[in-house]
Amino acid sequence: MQLTLARHPVTEIRLGTSTRLDGTTLFVDIGELRRNVLADDALQSVDFEIAGPGESCRAGPVFDIIEPRAKEPGGSGDFPGVLGPPVTAGMGTTCVLEGAAVTVLREKSPGDSRGATGYVLEMSGLAAEASKYSSLHHLIVIPRARSGVAAHAVEKAYRMAGLSASVYLGCAALELPPASAQSFAPVGPAEKSREGLPRVAYVGQIYSRQRRPQIDEQIIYGANTDGMLPVLLHPDEWLDGAILPSYHTSLGGAETYFYQNHPVIMELYRRHHAGEVNFVGTVATIAGADNFDRERNCRAAAGLVKWALRADAAVLTKYGGGVPHTDMAETARLLEALGIRTAVMASDLSRDRRVESALLFNFPEVDAIVYGGGNGTSWKAPKVERAIAATPEMAALLEGPLELTAMNVVGVANQQGASRLRAEVY
């Protein structure tokens, strides 16, 4: 397996009569893109906006953010299992429009812990400084569903709109020479060239059974994880479209852009290339719905790391609310008992900011814990010059001023390594 990311920098998005990449300016034919997106019968209309770094602009509620990419011929296909057959992702060359993003909005807030605004994209101010997404050039997609379409079908339409727009834009880079290209060294338990280096695996949750997935929710190769057991994946599969986030934005703080640039996997690759570790592979798992599911999945994940990947150490992350902490911690405890050293990433989801409320596991052997940020950070966000939303009512709310928490600004609080927050004891 060999994945190459052909990177094409984008420093501006503009409307044009044809979609093309001219230097670092991406021109977009909105009429053609609209016809592409409206091929989905669940949608009655779609609008587009452009937002750039530093602009006094706020958009929401955010459904997903995707890096525009397209596969060159001979590779594994774009978002396999969703936009095409479920072939193995991570093979061939992928054109990447680096610095650009396709941001899809919902028509209304999903509620839950995200409140009235849902996830918000901040392009300026202090809150924006805490998010990677404020540095990108966004093509914002505002889909509107037909009346009477079931809620899960609407969310699937949002997903298809975002992915199809991402590939459509990414195709602008096909046949152009990239500014740079990144290929990844071979990894796997059978690699012979790295004897003597610590063998490190990654175990990542991709869904939490705190909520049952929608029947057509596409999370792993187009499947919704129902009945899923932990599965071995090549790291390149995560980076190249095999994994997508849940429709439930309250569950993870992950976006498609996050998986395409997964910071834990990219850091393990960096250390692999530097000769510091032997990155032997990954396990994708989910958080269980009950103790039976938890016991089964944790033991299966630990067994794959020990016996299939033959790792010496493992990095673990979780997805969702508080309960998935226990699945992650129990997997780490089992690994420690098997002689495999672990590091876990946890986030404080308590609302009263008390240690007692945040304590969800306490295994003395699981003692390498990285804090990935919680909901204790907030900002008084000023009124903006432009608020982008699907309805006038939501636009008026987003215009501000608002008080925004870290969990409400997309890209700030991420439980899997992309957060800019950290804990300090003082």
Whole-Å CA distances, 173 to 20, 95, 164, 278: 7, 6, 15, 33
Domain match, 152 and 262 both: no
Lowest-confidence region among 71-75, 263-267, 374-378: 374-378
Per-residue confidence (pLDDT) for residue 315, from 0 to 100: 98
Average pLDDT over residues 42-58: 97
Per-residue confidence (pLDDT) for residue 115, from 0 to 100: 74
Per-residue confidence (pLDDT) for residue 374, from 0 to 100: 67
Per-residue confidence (pLDDT) for residue 340, from 0 to 100: 98
Instruction: Quick: pLDDT tens for 113-144.
Output: 567 888 999 999 999 998 999 999 999 999 99
Please indicate whether residue 378 or residue 223 has the higher confidence score (pLDDT): 223
Q: Which of 323, 402, 399 is nearest to 127 (CA)?
A: 402
Q: How far is the C-alpha of 150 from the C-alpha of 158, rounded, in Å?
A: 13
Task: Report the percent of the chain where pLDDT is more than 70.
Answer: 93
Per-residue confidence (pLDDT) for residue 113, from 0 to 100: 57
Asked whether residue 351 is assigned to any structural domain, the reply reads: yes
Domain match, 210 and 124 both: no
Instruction: Quick: pLDDT tens for 87-96.
Output: 999 999 999 9
Asked whether residue 130 is assigned to any structural domain, the reply reads: yes
SS3 state of residue 234: coil
Q: Which amino acid is at 260?
A: Q
Per-residue confidence (pLDDT) for residue 8, from 0 to 100: 98
Asked whether residue 31 is assigned to any structural domain, the reply reads: yes
Domain match, 195 and 163 both: no
pLDDT bracket for residue 413 (50, 70, 90): confident
Chain centre distance of CA 60: 17
* Three-state SS sequence of 313-337: EEEEECCCCCCHHHHHHHHHHHHHH
Cis peptide before 68 (omega within 30 of 0): no
User: What is the DSSP-derived secondary structure letter of residue 383?
Assistant: P
Average pLDDT over residues 246-271: 88
Asked whether residue 218 is assigned to any structural domain, the reply reads: yes
Per-residue confidence (pLDDT) for residue 361, from 0 to 100: 83
Average pLDDT over residues 63-77: 95
Phi, psi of 109, deg, nearest 5: -65, 140
Domain match, 166 and 300 both: no
Per-residue confidence (pLDDT) for residue 426, from 0 to 100: 52
Domain match, 124 and 221 both: no
Average pLDDT over residues 251-280: 92
User: What is the DSSP-derived secondary structure letter of residue 69?
Assistant: E
Asked whether residue 87 is assigned to any structural domain, the reply reads: yes
**How do strand 180-183 and strand 121-122 relate by DSSP bridges?**
unpaired
Boundary (domain end) residue, out of 336, 358, 378: 378
Domain match, 149 and 207 both: no
Number of compact structural domains in the chain: 2
Please indicate whether residue 323 or residue 174 has the higher confidence score (pLDDT): 174
Lowest-confidence region among 267-281, 296-310, 339-353: 339-353
When the pLDDT of each residue in the chain is averaged and rounded to a whole number, the result is 91
Task: Report the percent of the chain where pLDDT is more than 90.
Answer: 76
Boundary (domain end) residue, out of 181, 203, 221: 181
Per-residue confidence (pLDDT) for residue 358, from 0 to 100: 63
User: 57: burial class by Cβ within 10 Å (0-12, 13-18, 19+)?
Assistant: buried
Asked whether residue 83 is assigned to any structural domain, the reply reads: yes
Domain match, 117 and 244 both: no
Domain match, 137 and 241 both: no
Instruction: Give the pair of three-digit tokens for residue 268.
Output: 């393990």
Average pLDDT over residues 359-376: 81
pLDDT above 60: residue 166 = yes
pLDDT bracket for residue 254 (50, 70, 90): confident
Lowest-confidence region among 181-190, 225-234, 244-253, 310-319: 244-253
Domain match, 161 and 205 both: no
Domain match, 167 and 199 both: no
Asked whether residue 353 is assigned to any structural domain, the reply reads: yes
Asked whether residue 395 is assigned to any structural domain, the reply reads: no
Domain span holding position 263 = 187-378
Per-residue confidence (pLDDT) for residue 191, from 0 to 100: 80
User: What is the DSSP-derived secondary structure letter of residue 79?
Assistant: S
Boundary (domain end) residue, out of 137, 159, 181: 181
Per-residue confidence (pLDDT) for residue 97, from 0 to 100: 98
pLDDT above 70: residue 112 = no
Query: Around 422, how many Cα atoms within 13 Å sit in the side-chain half-sphere?
Result: 6
Domain match, 354 and 283 both: yes
Domain match, 89 and 206 both: no
| Entry pTM | 0.95
